[in-house]
C-alpha cells in the first residue's frame, strides 16, 4: 500500500460514521496482537485545551530524554501530524505499511460478520501499532471525542489521566448539561489511577470526585492560586507557579498558563513514579512548546493570528486574549464555521466591535455557506464581506489592513490549516510570516 492509497482507504471509512463504544476497537486490536497493552500512557480528555496540554507534557518528557509518542486530532496541514514520536511526524511509508496491516485485520473482521470499524478506530489502531513498533517509553494520548466510549479508552490504567476544561460541545453525543458532559470525560478515570484536573465549576468537579471515589483513584486538582503572570506579549508569557520562578511559554493567553500548570502537575506525578525529569528539562520543555492553529501569531506586520476556536468557551477565550494583547487596535476577522456547531454563540462572543469581517466557506460537507454566515454576522458588524475562496479572503484581509491592525482568522479547524499553509508558502503579501 502506498501513502496516497492509505489516506484514501482511511478517509473512505468516514461513511461508517462515528460510533462511540469499545467493542470494535477491542476486536481489531486483539487481531493485531493487542499492541496497546505493551505501552505506558498519559491519557488526556477535555473539551478545550487538550492539544496544548498534550504538547506541554510531551515536550517536557522529550527534553528529559524519553522517547515520547503523541496522538492528537484533528490535523492542520498534514494527516501525519496526528502521530508523532519526539515531535517528528510518522513517515509516509510507515503510515502506509501499518495501514495495510490494519486493513487486513479489518477485512478479517468483516468476513467474520463483525461491524466495520470507523475511521477514528482505524487511525487509533494504526497509532497504537506505530508506537509499539517504535518502542516508545511513554505515549501522551489525546481523546478524540468524550472519553468513556472513545477508542483511546481501550487502554488499561494509564500513568496519569488528565482532564482539561469542560464546556458545551458535541452535545448530541455527550449530553446537554456540563455534569453530563463531565461524566463522559470522567470515563478515562481508571481503577487505582491518578487523575489531574483543571479546576472547574463545582458541579463538574463533583462528577470527577465521584468517579475517583468509585474507582479508588487519586484526584489532583491543579492549584491556580499560586500563578503569577509576570509579563505577556505576542512573543509569549513569563510566570511564576508555586516554587517555580520565571517559567516561560510561547503560547498566548492566561488559559495557556493554566494548561501549562496542569501539565506541571502531571509531570510531578510522573516524577513520583520514578521518571527522571530535571527542572532544566521542565523549563526548556515548556519554553519550546508550540501548538499550531491555536491563538498562533503567524504574522507581525500586520499582526495575523489564527485560532481554531469553534465553541463558546473557545470564542470567549479568544475575545479575552485579543482584548488583553491588542487593546484599541482595529480588528479584521476571517470566519468560517460548520453548520452543526453553535456558530451563533461563537459570533456573538467575538465579532461585536470588530472593524471588518470576511466570511468564508470551509472545505467540508458540513460547512455553513459563507453567504449565509455573512447575513448572520451582519447583525453584529456593518462591514461584512464574502471570500469566494480562502485565498481570496486572506488577500482581502491583507489589502484592507494597515501595519497597525490585527487580522484574526478563527472558527473551524477545517480551514485554519489552509490559511496557515497559504501564509507560509505563497501569498504572504505584506505580512511578515513567522
- CATH number of the domain residue 202 falls in: 3.40.1190.10
Q: Is 385 in the same domain as 319?
A: yes
pTM of the full structure: 0.93
Q: Is 370 in the same domain as 333?
A: yes
- Domain count for the chain: 2
Q: Would you say residue 431 lies in a domain?
A: no
Q: State the pLDDT at residue 175.
A: 76
Angle between helices 23-31 and 119-133 (to 10 degrees): 40
**Range(s) of the domain holding residue 250:** 3-288
Where among 288, 316, 341 does a domain terminate?
A: 288
Q: How confident is the model at residue 429 (pLDDT cuts 50, 70, 90)?
A: very low
pLDDT at 414 > cutoff 80? no
Q: Would you say residue 362 lies in a domain?
A: yes
Q: Is 259 in the same domain as 363?
A: no
Which spans in 113-133 are helix H?
A: 119-133
Lowest mean pLDDT among 9-13, 148-152, 414-418: 414-418
Lowest mean pLDDT among 26-30, 193-197, 350-354, 358-362: 350-354
Q: Is 115 in the same domain as 34?
A: yes
Helices and strands (DSSP H and E) totals, the chain: 15, 17
Q: Is 19 in the same domain as 93?
A: yes
Average pLDDT over residues 420-424: 85
- Bigger pLDDT: 419 vs 102: 102
CB 118 within 8 A of CB 16: yes
Average pLDDT, the chain: 93
Q: State the pLDDT at residue 430.
A: 45
Strand ranges for 168-214 from DSSP E? 194-197
pLDDT at 431 > cutoff 60? no
Q: Is 275 in the same domain as 364?
A: no
Q: State the pLDDT at residue 364.
A: 85
Task: State the distance between the two ends of the chain, measured CA to CA, in whole angstroms.
Answer: 36
Where among 288, 305, 333 does a domain terminate?
A: 288
Q: Is 311 in the same domain as 263?
A: no
Cα–Cα distance for residue pair 73/251, rounded to 1 Å = 19
Q: State the pLDDT at residue 17.
A: 66
Average pLDDT over residues 387-407: 92
Q: Would you say residue 368 lies in a domain?
A: yes
Q: Is 256 in the same domain as 363?
A: no
Q: State the pLDDT at residue 341.
A: 83
- Bigger pLDDT: 14 vs 6: 6
Q: Would you say residue 430 lies in a domain?
A: no
109-122 pLDDT per residue, tens: 999 999 999 999 99
Amino acid at each position: 500500500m502506498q501513502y496516497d492509497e492509505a489516506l484514501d482507504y482511511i478517509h473512505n471509512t468516514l461513511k461508517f460514521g462515528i460510533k462511540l463504544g469499545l467493542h470494535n476497537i477491542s476486536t481489531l486490536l486483539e487481531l493485531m496482537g493487542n499492541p496497546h497493552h505493551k505501552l505506558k500512557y498519559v491519557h488526556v480528555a477535555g473539551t478545550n485545551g487538550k492539544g496544548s496540554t498534550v504538547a506541554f507534557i510531551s515536550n517536557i518528557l522529550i527534553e528529559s530524554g524519553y522517547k515520547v509518542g503523541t496522538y492528537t486530532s484533528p490535523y492542520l496541514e498534514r494527516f501525519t501530524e496526528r502521530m508523532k514520536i519526539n515531535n517528528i511526524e510518522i513517515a509516509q511509508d510507515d503510515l502506509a505499511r501499518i495501514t495495510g496491516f490494519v486493513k487486513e485485520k479489518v477485512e478479517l473482521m468483516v468476513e467474520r460478520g463483525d461491524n466495520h470499524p470507523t475511521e477514528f478506530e482505524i487511525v487509533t489502531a494504526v497509532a497504537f501499532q506505530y508506537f509499539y513498533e517504535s518502542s516508545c517509553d511513554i505515549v501522551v494520548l489525546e481523546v478524540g471525542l468524550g472519553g468513556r466510549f472513545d477508542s483511546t479508552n481501550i487502554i488499561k490504567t494509564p500513568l496519569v489521566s488528565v482532564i482539561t476544561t469542560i464546556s458545551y460541545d458535541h452535545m448530541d453525543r455527550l449530553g446537554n448539561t456540563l455534569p453530563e458532559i463531565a461524566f463522559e470525560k470522567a470515563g478515562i478515570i481508571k481503577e487505582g489511577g491518578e487523575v489531574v484536573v483543571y479546576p472547574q465549576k463545582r458541579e463538574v468537579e463533583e462528577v470527577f470526585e465521584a468517579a475517583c471515589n468509585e474507582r479508588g483513584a487519586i484526584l489532583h486538582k491543579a492549584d491556580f492560586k499560586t500563578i503569577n503572570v509576570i509579563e505577556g506579549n505576542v512573543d509569549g508569557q513569563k510566570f511564576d507557579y508555586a516554587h517555580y520562578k520565571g517559567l516561560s511559554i510561547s503560547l498566548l493567553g492566561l488559559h495557556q498558563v493554566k494548561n501549562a500548570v496542569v501539565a506541571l502537575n502531571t509531570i510531578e506525578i510522573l516524577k513520583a513514579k520514578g521518571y527522571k525529569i530535571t527542572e532544566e528539562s521542565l523549563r526548556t520543555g515548556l519554553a519550546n512548546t508550540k501548538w499550531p492553529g491555536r491563538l498562533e501569531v503567524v504574522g507581525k506586520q500586520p499582526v495575523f493570528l489564527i485560532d481554531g476556536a469553534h465553541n463558546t468557551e473557545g470564542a470567549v477565550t479568544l475575545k479575552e486574549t485579543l482584548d488583553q494583547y491588542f487593546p484599541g487596535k482595529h480588528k479584521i476577522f476571517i470566519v468560517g464555521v460548520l453548520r452543526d456547531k453553535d456558530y451563533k454563540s461563537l459570533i456573538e462572543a467575538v465579532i461585536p466591535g470588530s472593524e471588518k469581517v470576511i466570511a468564508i466557506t470551509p472545505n467540508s460537507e458540513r460547512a455553513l455557506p459563507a453567504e449565509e454566515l455573512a447575513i448572520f454576522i451582519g447583525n453584529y458588524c456593518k462591514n461584512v464581506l464574502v471570500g469566494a475562496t480562502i485565498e481570496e479572503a486572506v488577500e482581502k484581509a491583507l489589502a484592507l489592513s494597515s501595519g497597525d491592525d490585527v487580522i484574526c482568522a478563527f472558527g473551524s479547524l477545517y480551514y485554519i490549516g489552509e490559511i496557515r499553509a497559504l501564509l507560509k508558502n505563497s501569498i504572504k503579501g505584506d505580512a511578515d510570516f513567522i
